[in-house]
Amino acid sequence: MKIRISIFIGLVAGIIAGCTGINRDPYSDTPTTGIISIGVDETFRPVADAELLVFEGLYQYAKITPIYSSESQCFKLLMEDSVRLIIASRPLYENEKTSLQKRQIIPREIKIAVDAIAVIANPGNADTLLSLKQVREILTGNVTEWKQISQQSALGKIEVIFDNKNSSILRYLLDSLCSGTTLSSQLYALDSNIDVVNYIANHLNAIGFIGVSWISDQDDTTQMSFLNRIHVIALSEKNQATSDNSYKPYQAYIYQGIYPLSRNVYAINTEPRNGLATGVMSFLASDKGQKIILKSGIVPATAPVRLVKIRDRF
């Protein structure tokens, strides 16, 4: 009798688990079904939101919860096995790969897009051109007043605004533009890219650095316009910025490699089998996923970009 009771209790527990949706097998998902969380650098939230909306619309038994955070936090989640897919602006470092391989985890990385860092200012700021040299001097504290940029400027001290203290944008600028030089103590970090947009829109002296997808006009099929609450500064690699050698982060300029603050976007997967994380990663690289990236304002890794000849007025 005790054996029968035990079997009965086991059957009931199994039925209850099935009815409540409890999933005791972490690997029971497939490339198009299941429930997972993924880590996403908050810089790429507009892109990720659009991608996941379409993916879940196509596959109704898939539920993906994005964890939007700083890049460093995304990699922390990945290395701790809290998530098995992240979207970030850098590949794994060699020490991270070694650490994963010691745990018999073979990571997969694919480039899914090319992003641009937009430099934005208040519409009331008459300065519309900056050289990379000037940007570097602002970031390192050698230039602190707008008059040092333009003697005619009526503005005062320059406020430099980033999305957060662990920003991938800040890391990129430190590594690629400032070559590891100590940054100014007058840089300010908020909580997100949209916070930067809102701050710049309300502060005349401020300059901000954000991912371009946050300000791209999704209704503009040629991707040649940005939000009207701010203005986007054109950048030049020459020491003297002019309208002839300066570029805004339009898709065509990012694609051609002539907009100077561009970086790759990666999907990184540590899943040991082809589950839902692999399905999402494959979708990002697919034709449909790449077209969504194209519409977001950044450049897809594989889909063609339509080049449109434009005449820009600064």
Question: What pLDDT is stored for residue 250 in this prediction?
Answer: 92
Judgement on whether residues 210 and 77 belong to the same structural domain of the protein? no
pLDDT tens-digit series, residues 105-135: 999 999 999 999 999 999 999 888 999 999 9
Residue 200 lies in a domain: yes
Q: Is residue 306 part of a domain?
A: no
pTM (2 d.p.): 0.84
Same domain assignment for residues 175 and 274: no
Which positions of the chain have pLDDT values less than 50?
1-24, 26-27, 221-224, 313-314
Tell me the two tokens of residue 212.
């371009």
**Domain count across the chain:** 2
287 and 171 both lie in a single domain: no
Regarding whether 155 and 253 lie in a shared domain, the answer is yes
For residue 88, give its domain range.
28-110+263-300
We report the CATH number of the domain holding residue 100 as: 3.40.190.10
Give residue 281's pLDDT: 97
| Domain co-membership, 103 together with 120 | no
* pLDDT tens string 136-176: 999 999 999 989 888 888 888 999 999 988 899 999 998 88
User: How far apart are the C-alpha atoms of 37 and 62, rounded to whole Å?
Assistant: 11
Letter for the amino acid at 36? Answer: I
